Copies of this chain bind each other. A is one copy, B any other.
Amino acid sequence: MPPFSFTLDAECPETLARAGTITTPHGTILTPIFMPVGTQATVKTLSPEELHEAGTTIILSNTYHLMLRPGSKLIADFGGLHSFMHWDGPILTDSGGFQVFSLGHLRKLCEEGVTFKSHLDGSLHMLTPESVMQIEAELGADIILPLDICAAYPCSAADAREAMERTHRWAERALIARELHRSDQVLFGIVQGAFEPELRQQSARFIGNLPFPGLSIGGLSVGEPKAQMWELLHYVTSELPREKPRHLLGIGSPEDFVIGVDFGMDMFDCALPTRVARHGGLFTHSGRVNIKSARFRSERGPIEEGCDCYTCRNYSAAYVHHLARSEEQLYYRLGSIHNVRFMLCLSSEVRAAILAGTFPAFRDHFLANYTPASEKVREEQREKWKAARAREP
């Protein structure tokens, strides 16, 4: 099994975009890369074979969900997540921090760690930087993340600083704790700092200088305007070490993927492509379409002409429309396959453009053609997020 490594294959001279190669014990990942999210040890609706066929080279799974059900010890007994879920490629597990702050109830935060009630059965759990290292060792992913604090949006500067400083102390504790566990996993650091440019820079420098072989940027896309997110990311990237891979947590949509690459990011994970697919939203190079809309009722062609995904190779848009309108389970799968393939083709196209030195033109062409989800839809998503946060103490 090769150890973890990251090499830069090319850098765009005009933007911060880079192309790289990551090796892990379970396989090689060419960056920039989109990572489908397999929250409960399954990327919703898809089999591992379908993920491979769609070009997936790494998936993300969720420590928070798996520790609650079926439990990390049970997964360890089955030889870890790879063997439990029948996925032989690389896996990244998050730390559970984000879900504790978005899903857990009656959260109680102290220097030691965070106590919360399970969203499933109300049972009480405590996570500490040390226990998270143990849980993630049991899950056995190739890349693991330390416990962090994801500040809410909006957030006062004082709260932002407190959350960041604690996240930094927890990062140091995680680095020590992980030495007790498996040497075949690598621990990425998480940059926080909420919505304060100065804190974001400070966090990037602090975490960037600790002996983490890779860096995840957390706490973004939690309800703030997109322009603000990109501005903050700009402050972060400028402070990050060049030689470490950069993972933008919880992003993205097709347009955010392209912009994120422009801002120097290498790895992206998001449930959005599979989630919007299940609601009828399918990606094309001209934007997101709603397959349930009447215009697809008798469409003989595929969802997008030229797409090489299983769905587009074998089914008319009219049939996919029929399944979606009939709420047939095969629809959720066919839609998810299409969107995951779209994100992985986009990853390849972006990488090829960086290698060819044509990324700026690619970016401009893609963004000029791609109509993103309307601001109204984004605003609804933001309100949902706020409402979810408001239900918590």
Binding site for B on A (CB under 8 A): 40-42, 44-47, 69-70, 74, 77-78, 84-86, 297-298, 300, 314-316, 318-319, 321-323, 325-326, 328-330, 332-333
Contact = CB atoms under 8 A, between A and B. Distances in A.
A85 B329 contact: no
A300 B78 contact: yes
A84 B315 CA distance: 8
Given A70-B297, A298-B74, A45 B316 contact: no
A42 B328 contact: yes
Contacts of A86: 314-315, 319
Contact of A69 (B300, B325, B333): B325
A84 B316 contact: yes
Contacts of A85: 319
Nearest to A84: B319
Given A86-B319, A297-B74, A298-B77, A329 B332 contact: yes
Judged by DSSP, the binding face of A is: loop
A41 B316 CA distance: 13
Q: Report the copy number of this chain in the oligomer.
A: 2
Given A41-B323, A78-B319, 5 more contacts: A40-B322, A41-B322, A70-B321, A70-B322, A74-B298
User: Which one of A47, A85, A316 has the greatest number of beta carbons of chain B within 10 Å?
Assistant: A47
Contact of A40 (B70, B298, B316, B328): B328
A379 to B, nearest CB: 29
B329 A45 contact: yes
Contacts of A70: 297, 318, 321-322, 325
User: Which one of A42, A74, A316, A333 has the greatest number of beta carbons of chain B within 10 Å?
Assistant: A42
Closest 5 CB pairs of A and B: A45-B329, A70-B322, A40-B326, A42-B330, A42-B328
Contacts of A74: 297-298, 318
Nearest to A326: B40
Contacts of A84: 316, 318-319
A332 B42 CA distance: 13
A321 to B, nearest CB: 8
26 contacts: A40-B322, A40-B326, A40-B328, A41-B319, A41-B322, A42-B328, A42-B330, A44-B329, A44-B330, A46-B330, A47-B330, A47-B333, A70-B321, A70-B325, A74-B297, A74-B298, A78-B300, A78-B316, A78-B318, A78-B319, A84-B316, A84-B318, A86-B315, A86-B319, A329-B333, A333-B333
